């Protein structure tokens, strides 16, 4: 073969090999794979730490919401007890007013009795107004408590969904890391026949 033909064949074969970008030496492949696995495990560890931090924050928020619910329940119970006491007082005052009106007909019309009746009416009126105000307050607090409890339940459900999603992400990452590790390990690690 003439030398010009030989150099063109050699040049041609070099061109084909160097132009194929998919062919890399095995040692370069192993080195790059190991570097990628180390970088992936570092970022995976950081992501796992971040996920654990988020889970702890969610747990803290759930505990805080539960505490608020318990506080609201105690206040609600206290106000309900006060309302019952005021209802009883109103009942007693109304009965006293009815007795006073009946005795008014039977007893002489003295000025002191009228003053006493007016004072009792005024006291009764004040208690009735206070009772109505307390009933409105209790109703508002009950509604607020129900809304807050509903929001807290929704938050708790949302937190649980987030925790499940994060657990799923961690599980998938671990599987991916295992798969990458298995794919990047040279075959002689799996050959135990020697």
Taking only the tens place, the pLDDT of each residue in 86-123 is: 888 888 888 877 765 555 555 555 677 778 888 888 98
Q: What is the residue-wise DSSP string for the chain?
A: --HHHHHHHHHHHHHHHHH-TT---HHHHHHHHHHHHHHHHHHHHHHHHHHHHHHHHHHHHHHHHHHHHHHHHHHHHHHHHHHHHHHHHHHHHHHHHHHHHHHHHHS---HHHHHHHHHHHHHHHHHHHHHHHHHHHHHHHHHHHHHHHHHHHHHHHHHHHHHHHHHHHHHHHHHHHHHHHHHHS-GGGT----
- Confidence at residue 160, expressed as pLDDT on a 0 to 100 scale: 92
Of 6-20, 21-35, 75-89, 127-141, the range with the lowest mean pLDDT is: 6-20
- Output the average pLDDT for the chain: 76
Per-residue confidence band for 2, with pLDDT thresholds at 50, 70 and 90? very low
- Confidence at residue 9, expressed as pLDDT on a 0 to 100 scale: 39
The fraction of the chain above a pLDDT of 70, given in percent, is 72
Residue 61 has pLDDT above 70, yes or no: yes
Name the nearest CA neighbour of 165 among 45, 54, 40, 41.
54
- Confidence at residue 157, expressed as pLDDT on a 0 to 100 scale: 92
Residue-range domains of the chain with CATH: 27-181 (1.10.287.1490)
pLDDT tens for each residue of 160-172: 999 999 988 888 8
- Confidence at residue 164, expressed as pLDDT on a 0 to 100 scale: 92
pLDDT tens for each residue of 138-189: 888 889 889 988 998 999 999 999 999 998 888 888 888 777 777 776 566 5
């Amino acid at each position: 073969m003439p030398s010009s033909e030989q150099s063109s064949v050699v040049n041609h074969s070099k061109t084909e090999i160097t132009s194929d970008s998919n062919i890399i030496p095995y040692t370069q492949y192993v080195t790059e794979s190991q570097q990628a696995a180390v970088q992936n495990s570092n970022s995976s560890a950081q992501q796992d730490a971040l996920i654990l931090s988020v889970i702890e924050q969610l747990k803290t928020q759930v505990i805080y919401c539960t505490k608020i619910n318990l506080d609201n329940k105690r206040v609600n119970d206290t106000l309900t007890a006060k309302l019952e006491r005021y209802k009883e007082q109103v009942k007693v005052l109304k009965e006293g007013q009815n007795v006073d009106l009946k005795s008014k007909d039977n007893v002489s019309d003295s000025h002191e009795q009228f003053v006493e009746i007016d004072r009792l009416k005024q006291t009764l009126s004040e208690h009735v107004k206070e009772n109505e105000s307390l009933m409105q307050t209790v109703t508002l607090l009950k509604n607020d408590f129900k809304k807050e409890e509903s929001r807290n339940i929704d938050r708790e459900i949302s937190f649980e969904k987030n925790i499940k999603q994060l657990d799923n992400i961690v599980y998938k990452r671990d599987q991916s890391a295992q798969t990458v590790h298995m794919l990047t390990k040279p075959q002689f690690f799996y050959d135990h026949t020697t």
